[in-house]
Amino acid sequence: MQRLGKNLGRYFGDVIDVARVLAEVKTVARAHGWQSEVFLQAPGIELIALTRPAARETRRIYLSAGIHGDEPAGPLAMLQLLQENRWPEDVSFWLCPCLNPTGFAANSRENASGTDLNRDYLVPRAAETQAHLAWLEKQPNFDVTICLHEDWEANGFYVYELNPEQRHSFAEAIVKAVSQVCPIDLSPIIEDREAAGGIIRPSIDPSSRPQWPEAFYLLNHKTRLPYTMEAPSDFPLPTRVAALVAAVRAVVDRAE
């Protein structure tokens, strides 16, 4: 499978009507018994969270998508996962299907005010980040968190793992599962960080990250095992969606 060659200097691939996608998300979630909460309502912005508590909970997993408005595969992957409705009965789930709806309207990484929300989690300025953090603070700690992303420059899928206590790692299982549907970026350096087999294990030193992404906030406040999944957005959109769905399944179906 070859790159499409559309992304020259930025993302120029397929776009989505995020309002329509989120309407479908809410409809499907309601049909399958998910609890829904709006945690920010503002002009052009509705941020929702979906929760599915397990009767006999053994694990807690959090998923988010759509923090960058030029990464459409994440919200679509969330919709597909909800449609498939294959969730282990003993795992409780928290889902934020789209954290930056105004970015999608402009096909922009940033929100309507020009803020990269995924660099706004240390000293939050944007209303979206502030509302998301206020919601997260009310939730319990999670065993695993998963943030769905895309990279318009990537040669294939890759994953960030933050695992300071060396807990059971899902990284290799994620890459193996995704390799069945999407190329893996096997570059030794990805995003200026050392990588091996499509896996990046970056520094967790807070001083090395003056602008915190969502995953770094999660590491320091809500979990000790965050994953950031990066689909290659210069490939066909269905391939990217399949990659993110496979990546989530590799964690959800193997939760230990």
Q: What is the pLDDT of residues 218-235, one digit of tens each?
A: 999 999 999 999 999 999
What tokens does 192 get? Answer: 């200026």
Q: Which of 224, 223, 241 is nearest to 232 (CA)?
A: 241
What tokens does 198 get? Answer: 């499509």
Q: Is a pLDDT exceeding 60 seen at residue 256?
A: no
Across the range 25-39, mean pLDDT stands at 98
Across the range 118-146, mean pLDDT stands at 98
Residues in the chain: 256
Across the range 109-131, mean pLDDT stands at 97
d(Cα 218, Cα 144) in Å, to the nearest integer?
Answer: 10
Res 255: pLDDT: 58
Residue 254 binned pLDDT confidence (cut-offs 50, 70, 90): confident
Rounded to 5 degrees, φ, ψ at 23 are -65, -40
- Tell me the whole-structure pTM to 2 decimals: 0.97
Helix (H) or strand (E) holding 214: helix 214-221
Cα 156 to chain centroid distance, Å, stands at 16
Residue 60 binned pLDDT confidence (cut-offs 50, 70, 90): very high
